[in-house]
Structures are given as structure tokens and as C-alpha cells.
A and B are shown apart, each in its own frame.
Chain A
Amino acid sequence: MRQDLATPDSETIRAIIAAERHREGPLLPILHALQAEYDHIPESALPLIAEALALTRAEVHGVVTFYHDFREAPAGRHVVKVCRAEACQSMGANDMAARLLDLLGLDGYGTLPDGSVTVEPVYCLGLCACAPAAMVDGTLLGRADSPAIAAKLAKAEAPA
């Protein structure tokens, strides 16, 4: 469990929806705002969104699940996105990702059992001229290597 995240409650969710619903095409902005608050789209938000936008719950579910960004559950406390697109592959991104997963003790992309780190693939950070690229908690890394990423994570996890 992420201690740093609030438990979703319908009052807050309704307020988040209300803040965005005046926009043309408000659904994606609402979902982004919810994810910014909870690091995932709480199941309990779906009927509230559906009601506010006069959609069916199935339609909202369909949109949420279409996009890679929206999570069903919060990620780990730290998130590493490893670029797996062609330009990064040409500079050894596949090997780098494999070494990183190995260093962290992950079998594949996903979250460590202690919830500290999530590693996920991303298809292009636009850093194609300084590949391979990665993002650690929103910090971009060019010409990245797995020890540097692991070091950054260790630093982020260390008590301040």
C-alpha cells in the first residue's frame, strides 16, 4: 500500500470531476486529474464520472482501459520507465532493461513485492538522439545505463 496516497472518497472524486467537466471533451482531463490524485483510477470513480457526463459505466470503463497511462491500482513508490522503441534499441535498450530488471530482482516489467519500485516499458520519450533513455520518477535520463538507474532509485529510497 502507498502510505502517501489518500483513500479515494466520493466527495473528493466529485470535486475533481466538477473542476474539469466544463471543458469540451472533459473525460480525459478528468481521468488525468484523478490519476494525479490517486496514482490510479479508482473503481468507485467510474459510476460518478458516468453520472456526471451522462455516459454508461461501460463507456467510461472502455475509455479508461483503452489508454496505457491509466492504472487500475497505484504503481510502486518509484516508477522507472524504460524506453523500448527502435532508436533506444539501436543503442542496446533491450539489454539495459534486462540488466535493470535483474539488478532489481524483477522477473519482468511490474512492481517489486515491497511496493518500492515499478518498472514499465515506454514507447518513446523523444530522447532518440541520446539513447537509450529512461525516466525515473519524472526525471529524464539520456545515455542511460542500468547501474545509474539503480543508483538513482537507491538514492530516492534512502531516508532523507
Chain B
Amino acid sequence: MKVYIPLDSAAVALGADDVADAIRAEASARGLDVQVIRNGTRGMVFLEPLVEVDCGAGRIGYGNASPADAGAILDGTADDLGPVEDIPYLAKQTRLTFARCGVIDPLSLSDYEAHGGLAGLRRAIAMSGEEIVEEVKTSGLRGRGGAGFPTGIKWDTVRQAQADQKYIVCNADEGDSGTFADRMIMEGDPFCLIEGMAIAGLATGATRGFVYLRSEYPVAIGVMEEAIRRARGAKVLGDDVLASGRTFDMEVRVGAGAYVCGEETSLLNSLEGKRGVVRAKPPLPALEGAFGKPTVVNNVISLATVPVIFEKGAQHYADFGLGRSRGTIPLQIAGNVARGGLFETAFGMPLGDIVNDIGGGTASGRPVKAVQVGGPLGAYFAPHQFDTPFGYEEFDGEGGLIGHAGLTIFDDSADMLGMARFAMEFCAVESCGKCTPCRIGAVRGVETLDRIAAGDPAAQEVLTDLCDTMTSGSLCALGGFTPYPVMSALRLFPEDFGATKEAAE
């Protein structure tokens, strides 16, 4: 009998470690032969801790398990969810990037290979750098960190650059509230990221890789470091990658609690041991990145999607999606929501379907007031925009962005002026200080929102003008995008900004 209990941070935060201990203790007290496997999460956070029992006829799920359920789970008498793969939340997904997450033991390389792992890397080894890049271009993969830049074009720039050393840097500084896809795959399928980075190395001629991982993710740091050690031991990494004669090795670098280090140039400065201050572009990191050398900087999900593209073929991946948003996107449904979790699906699902059909509406049972899409720098959306299909251009057209595909849901008790003020306050605290619109603008933004709250009728125009300056004049997305949540809140919820009071005067 195999029992799966996730080691994922969210499952652990909901008590998975205690459940695992209880099941081990109960099994040993009964003298049962039970193999406890700490898998990643399936992403159905609303069911965590989700225990799965496999007696040889498929995996049966037990949701929201507590230590007290251990005996009944082993007896098979606890209330079960049926076969896990048939749970509608999971059955409706298209799992490409996250195909193995929650299924395998994250640190078992043999499990990884048995589920299609390393097939992509083996295929890439037989290809030239140019052919690898061409395959990525054909897949239509775009940067999943938020900017949506075509991954293949970025790789091609690095491939063609001449240098004695090139780097692959994985941006795992997932600081956006409402997002946890990077954490989930690093904890649940770390070899997938390693394989993706190795393929990037082969494509571009980079032999060294770094995963810049935020310090707020201690579980992910531990799993990634152990996975790298094991990959090195199995010669997936090192000076003879899978006996190809090619070199690629990598290490984890831990961030230090600076949100702005999710911006790629600031991340590179931090990696070099400097203040995480944003760099002006050009030069592009692809030409002068880490330590002044040509560098691919990609988000975790971009890199972790590469193996499946090479395993199943670029066209297979590109056949999913909508318009110029090809493939799948791991939606992270968060905040005040009944069924929070990760839902990987082809681009194109309308926002309202995600929030209501998949997410089940709010956790509080109250009406949905707003959904912030794309993290703290993403715009708020109101229910009248719920027919917007999930895609880069489609959200741009609605004055928003998809960012890292996190959706934070708020019920009707949310104070949108308060949220707008928080966005400015956050920007002020996290600003790297290099450019004036962000450094000073965010502070003035907080003051101006306080004036609006106090009923100053002139302050709204000042806020609009200030946001305009921040949008056009900031060096990076921190100052440049903070106006998204602020202005969308003002535009969509004028009543929270005293509009009726003003009209009455």
C-alpha cells in the first residue's frame, strides 16, 4: 500500500506533516506495510492536506485530512473523493507543465524518467543550438514571468552572442501576491526546472546556471538543492550532461527579501552581490547580463515548460491556446475564493469562468467585488469584465495584464481605496530608489490617496497625473505598473473614492 501526502508548503501549512506522522505511526502500530511518499501538491489547495492511497487499483483521495483520520484512511472507511484524477477540478485541466506535479516523488529521478522526464533533454542533445531555438520559437512560448516576451527570440540573442562564458538565470523570485506556481513546481517537480535549464544551456552555449530563489520559500530551497545534488550525481548535470560531452551545472542562490529583485536586472545585481538596484536597458541582459556576460533570464514556468515542448514536440504545445498566447497557462486562483489552487489550462478561458466555475466564487459566500490579476502590479477587474478571455493581448486590451497568472479574488467588503493606497505604500517600501517617479511618486501617491480619503476634491486629478508620470517615467515595472491597480480601482470603483460625496457637493 502506498500513501501519498504532499510536502508542498501549502499542504504543510495546513497540517500535512502531522498527518504524515499520524499515518506512519498508525501503520506501524498495526504492523501494516505502508510506503509513505511525500509528493508535490496536485494544486487543489482547497482539499489540502490531500492524502492519496494506492492499493494497486489507482489513487483514491481523502481531502482535508487531519491526524485523527489516519486510522480510517488506512482502513478505507474515511469519506473519500474517489479516484483523484476524476476530481472535476483536476479532470478539467490540461496539464502539460504540471503533468508530473503531485503525481511523482519530487526527488526520485527514476520516477521522473518513468513519467516522461529527460526525454526532452535527450532529444535536445541530438539537435544543434539553432534547431533547439527554432523549436522553442515554433512552440510560441512567451515569458511566463509576466512580460510575455517570446522565449525563443531571447535564447537566440544569447546563442548568437560571442563570449567566453554565458549564463542561464532562472528568476524564482516569485514575490507577487496571488502567485505560487513557481513554488509549487520547484517543490513538486524540481527536475523539470533543471531539465529546462539544461536545454537552455545547450541551446545558447551557456554552461552555468543559477536559480535565484526567494528566501520566503524555505521548502522550495531545500527541494531544489537536493534535486540539483541528485541530478549531478546521476550526471544529468556536470561536465558530461547525459554522456553528451557537453557541460551544464547550476546552483541555487537565495534572495534576501527584496521584492524588486524579481525585476531581471535588479536580480542580476543581487546575484552579483550588489544592492538590488534596477539597471537601465540597453544593454540587454541577453548581451550583458550576469557578471557582464550574455545571460538568459527566464521565469521558472517558462523554463519548466521547455521539457514538455521537447518531449511532445513544439506543434503539440502550440496547438493549445488563443491568438498569440500559445500553449497552456497555470492559473493561480487565490485570495477570497472557495476553491483556491492551481489550474493549468489552455489560454482563452474567460475570467468569469475561472473565478466562478473553477474557483466557485468567494470563500466568504459574499458577491465577488474585484479580481486583481497579475500580482500587486496588476489591474483590478470587475464582474462586468468577466467575459475577457485569458490571454496576453486580451487583458492588455482591457487595461490590465496577466502577469504571472495569479488571480486574487475580493468580496464586496473590500475597500478599493485602501487597496490602491496599499499598492502605493508597497511600491514606496520596495522601490530600489534608482528612478525618481517610483521613489518619490509612490510616497506622493500614498499622500494623495489620503487626501482623497479625506474628501479633497482636487486630489483625484493629481493622482491621475502622478500615475501618468510613473507609468511613462519609471525605469522598471515596479514604478511603471503600480498605476495599474491604483487607476483600475479608481476607474472601476469610484464610489470607494468618495465619488458620491463629491457629486453631492
Contacts and interface: CB of A to CB of B under 8 A. Distances in A.
A119 interface: no
Interface stretch (B22-30, B270-278, B279-287): B270-278
B14 A143 contact: yes
B422 A89 contact: yes
A85 B218 CA distance: 18
B175 A123 contact: yes
A91 interface: yes
Nearest to B187: A126
Interface in B251-269: 253-259
B273 A26 contact: yes
A25 B271 contact: yes
Given A68-B258, A86-B408, A25 B14 contact: no
Interface string A9-36: 0000000000000001111110110000
Nearest to B273: A27
Interface residues on A, range: 35 or more
B45 A129 contact: yes
A88 B337 CA distance: 11
Contact of B340 (A24, A70, A129): A129
Nearest to A133: B13
B470 interface: no
Contact of B276 (A67, A124, A129): A67
A62 B372 CA distance: 34
Contacts of B272: 25
B417 to A, nearest CB: 13
B218 A86 contact: no
Contacts of A100: none
B305 to A, nearest CB: 19
A152 to B, nearest CB: 12
A26 B276 CA distance: 14
Contact of B178 (A32, A70, A86, A133): A86
Given A125-B9, A126-B180, A141-B13, A86 B422 contact: yes
Contact of B218 (A29, A89, A138): A138
Contacts of B372: 86
Nearest to B254: A32
A25 B270 CA distance: 8
A28 B269 CA distance: 11
Contact of A126 (B48, B179, B430): B179
A131 B419 CA distance: 17
B180 A127 contact: yes
B45 A130 contact: yes
A90 B180 contact: no
Contact of A124 (B176, B254, B256, B432): B176
B410 A28 contact: no
B278 to A, nearest CB: 12
A127 B216 CA distance: 11
Contacts of B270: 28
Contacts of B216: 122, 124-126
A129 B215 contact: no
Interface string A73-106: 0000000000001111111000000000000000
A142 B13 contact: yes
A137 B332 CA distance: 27
B341 A129 contact: yes
Given A25-B272, A25-B291, A125-B9, A87 B334 contact: yes
Contacts of A24: 208, 291
B10 interface: yes
A62 B256 contact: no
A43 interface: no
Contact of B411 (A90, A126, A143): A90
A86 B335 contact: yes
Interface string A102-129: 0000000000000000000011111111
A55 B416 CA distance: 46
Contacts of A28: 253-256, 270-271, 273
Contacts of A122: 216, 257
B45 A123 contact: no
Contact of A130 (B48, B406, B409): B48
Given A85-B376, A128-B180, 15 more contacts: A27-B274, A66-B277, A69-B255, A85-B178, A87-B406, A89-B422, A123-B426, A123-B430, A124-B216, A126-B174, A126-B216, A128-B179, A129-B46, A133-B13, A142-B10
13 contacts: A63-B274, A63-B275, A67-B255, A68-B258, A69-B257, A86-B376, A87-B334, A87-B406, A125-B216, A126-B217, A127-B13, A142-B13, A142-B48
Interface of B: 9-10, 12-14, 45-46, 48, 174-180, 183, 208, 215-219, 253-259, 270-277, 290-291, 332-337, 340-342, 363, 372, 376, 406, 408-411, 414, 419, 422, 426, 430, 432
